[in-house]
Amino acid sequence: MKVGWREVTRSGLVGLGLLVLAGCDAPPPTPTARPTGRPAGLVVPPDSLVPSANSLALARYYERLETDLLNRGLLRRDGGGPDTPYTDTDLARNFERIAFYDEYAQGAGFRPSSGRAGGLRKWEGPVRMSVEFGRSVPDGQRTRDTAMVADYAARLARVTRHPISANSSKPNFHVLIMGEDDRGEALARIRQIVPNAGPSTIAIFRDMPRTIHCLVVAFSGEGEDFTYRRAIAFIRAEHPDLMRQSCVHEELAQGLGLADDSPQARPSIFNDDDEFALLTTHDEELLRLLYSPDLKPGMTADQARPIIHRLLAERRGGPV
């Protein structure tokens, strides 16, 4: 139900770097008169914005969907239990499927991938997350969502033992929580973050059908096709609280490098059956594996397989 989609592009980040360097060499601007302040009455606070009919319809649709899923015993928040046992063999199989494959073809919008395994992808430098909201998002939701993302980033840092932080003034992982009425604002912001983003990247944010609840796009750097340097997650503001939190949990974890889903993964959010809403104990195990220093960006599944089995055996004290 939720989509994690990645485009590995060199020009996006290289273009960003060149623009920064050009800005450093530019002459200082000519001083201008201080602009007159906008009268307070002309500033529309977020809570007073009236949602469009389209935004209201989406909110009603997602509210009904969440209610239906909960009534069917889905969107679990317990992280798994006695009814969802898994073994190290399960973890090794699920990690390989989720970390080395793509759900969608790179650079091709929502077209399914070829089904071929690729190289391992992950961040090597610190991950600095920041939450940005569209003008339509009310203040109360902003406060709750900012705290929720900060708490989750801290959990991801503990699990992976990788430097992951939230509320950074210099973010490289941008979490955009925006509504249907903020789409133009979102597209403009995405072009600011990655000025050379290709048409396929812009199109997936512009043309999201309502069946796409949320998504993430991660970018690599020049000559490092498997090392992530920047990511953008888009979360629909119209979601009710639990579905919005579920989107944050899945997309931020996928943006760290767990790119695909698997119907065999259980208990897991990396499974399109919507049984679990939030990151599970199984998923934490996958993230620990991904951020083991022994697993390097660009490794193939064949190269990584014996290392994965060794890491699991060391953790459990026996063979997989």
Percent of the chain with pLDDT strictly greater than 90: 72
Q: How much is the pLDDT for 109?
A: 52
Alpha-carbon torsion 50, 54, 57, 62, what sign? negative
Q: Is the pLDDT of residue 46 over 80?
A: no
pLDDT tens digit string along 99-153?
999 765 565 455 555 567 789 999 999 999 999 999 999 999 999 999 999 999 9
User: Residues 6 or more apart from 175 whose CB is under 8 A from it?
Assistant: 129, 130, 131, 132, 149, 233, 235, 248, 252
What's the CA gap between 143 and 146, in Å, rounded?
5
The single-letter DSSP state of residue 232 is E
Please compute the mean of the pLDDT values over residues 251-257 and round it to a whole number.
97
- What pTM was computed for the model? 0.83
Among all chains, which residue has been given the structure tokens 């997989």?
320
Percent of the chain with pLDDT strictly greater than 70: 79
The single-letter DSSP state of residue 265 is -
Tokens of 198: 């290709």
Distances from the Cα of 263 to the Cα of 97, 98, 319, angstroms:
10, 10, 25
All structural domains of the chain, each given as residue ranges with its CATH number in brackets, are 63-316 (3.40.390.10)
Q: How much is the pLDDT for 223?
A: 67
pLDDT tens digit string along 280-305?
999 999 999 999 999 999 999 999 99
pLDDT tens digit string along 59-90?
999 999 999 999 999 999 999 999 999 999 99
Mean pLDDT, the chain, rounded, equals 85
What's the CA gap between 166 and 246, in Å, rounded?
18
